[in-house]
Amino acid sequence: MWTDTHCHLDASEFDADRDAVVARARAAGVSQIVIPAVVAGNFERVRMLAHEHGFSYALGIHPLYVMQAREDDLALLDRQLAEHRDDPRLVGIGEIGLDFFVEGLDAATQQHFYLEQLKLAKRHALPVILHVRRSADQLLGGLRRIGLTTGGIGHAFNGSRQQADAFLALGFKLGFGGTVTFDRSLQIRRLAAELPDDALVVETDAPDIPPHWLYRTAEQRAAGATSRNEPGELPRIGACLAELRGWTPERAAEVTRRNARVALPRLAALDAAS
């Protein structure tokens, strides 16, 4: 059985057929999905969906949305983490991090929200799910500055081997998803093939980061073609990872599920109860 460590099941792209999406995922062998929040306004939504479908969730403010966030959102996050500290489905703080790829995002504002959320992770003793896009070194600097020891997941990791090793040394696992299915993703595929067995978790980031078999060109999208990713694609993505490592898909599912439970320890009890 597979664990999707990153899926935005609350996204509007799933509003029309969310139950069918979940059913397809379960039929494909996906037993656990982590649903990360991205803004304070969807904290309740991700929690509700996790409980409704027997999945798990994380609470946090995404770097792409910090320009619209307020200090009150951090206070709300603190209160929510305290209020739901005994909720077994609350597995971490996320999606948080830094994004230096998208233009128009103030670096200082991103850093402020990132560091403040790391402080909350330390206060509440929870792992973090990190958004890593052209920001690995800065993220590592923040982790060391705050002294976070709870680890977590570097979501959609696309850094260097040196950066990967630095995250692993701080107790993190690294997430691989649809990008690993593209032949041209040479660096990511190299990392997926060469990192230690205990470094890897798998994810879809659905509805985003579609694998190659769902990819549509700009022209196709303009003509109305869609490329929505789904958690049910995870086993096929995992099979690509398995091929790169010389594993069977069954071994890939077993290893990455075990690693997910190490990165997000509350998953172990949920798996045992399911």
Binding residues, as ranges, are 6, 8, 95, 131, 155, 205
Phi-psi category of residue 225: left, alpha or beta, with phi > 0 → left and psi -120 to 50 → alpha: beta
Question: 75 CB contacts (<8 Å, ≥6 apart)?
Answer: none
What distance in Å separates the CA atoms of residue 58 and residue 213, rounded to the nearest whole number? 29
What distance in Å separates the CA atoms of residue 77 and residue 176, rounded to the nearest whole number? 27
Q: In what helix (H) or strand (E) does residue 58 lie, and over which residues does it extend?
A: strand 56-59
The annotation places the binding site for a divalent metal cation at 6, 8, 95, 131, 155, 205
Phi, psi (rounded to 5 degrees) for 104: 90, 5
Contact predicate 235/29, CB 8 Å: yes
What is the distance in angstroms between the CA of the first residue and the CA of the last residue of the chain? 11
Contact predicate 202/237, CB 8 Å: yes
Please return the burial class of 184, using the count of CB atoms within 10 Å of its CB with bins 0-12, 13-18 and 19+: exposed
